[in-house]
Amino acid sequence: MADAKSFYVSVVTPEKAVFEGDARFVAVPAHDGELGFMRNRAAILAKLDVGRLRIDTEAGEETFFVDGGFVEMIDNQLTILTEDARRAEELDREGAEVLLAEARAMKDRGEGTTAQRERTFKRARTQLRMLR
């Protein structure tokens, strides 16, 4: 339970709450690099990048894949808003490879903007890296 070093973390998507509970340390993939959070961090609102989210709880470490979004920390309440978040254990290799193939196909067809393509690539690669 909550002790002197922990703070409340929730990871929510439009579909569901993926994680809710206390943590001692959280590392989020912010838009300009990884950002670490501990108790009593000053209030912040930051944009997230596609990447790996790590939550250290008393029970152990949990990792998630997050697809961009935002992070807010205020009064020892950390909220991560993202449009897609999945536990590392829930990722599947096939899905990630399909995504990578799709990203390549997008590039070949010259579909979408560069930013969109980059994002799809990043999504696929992050997932594959996390599966390794």
Partner 1 sequence: MANRRVLVKRRKASRNIRKITRTMQLIATARFQAAYSAAVAGRPYTDKLAQLVGNLARAASGIDHPLMHQPESEKRAAVLILTSNRGLCGGYNSNVLRKATEHLDELAGRGVGCETHMIGKKGIGFFGFLGREMDSTDAEIGETVRFEKVEPLANQLIERFTAGEIDAVYVAYTKFISTARQAPVVEKLLPLEYEAASAGETGTAAQYEFSPDPQSLLSEILPATVRVRLFQSFTDAAVSEQVARMVAMKAATDAAEDMIKRLTQQYNRARQTQITMELLDIVGGANALA
- Binding map of partner 1 across residues 71-100, x = CB under 8 A, - = no contact: -x-x----x-x-xx----------------
Say if strands 7-12 and 77-81 run parallel, antiparallel, or are unpaired.
parallel
According to the binding rule CB under 8 A, does residue 10 interact with partner 1? yes
Query: Could you say which DSSP state residue 41 is in?
Result: P
Smaller CB distance to partner 1: residue 83 or 90?
83
The DSSP annotation for 70-116 comes to EEEEETTEEEEE-S-EEEGGG--HHHHHHHHHHHHHHHHHT-S-HHH
27 contributes a contact to partner 1 by CB under 8 A:
no
Residues that bind partner 1 (CB under 8 A): 10, 12-17, 30-32, 42-47, 69-70, 72, 74, 79, 81, 83-84
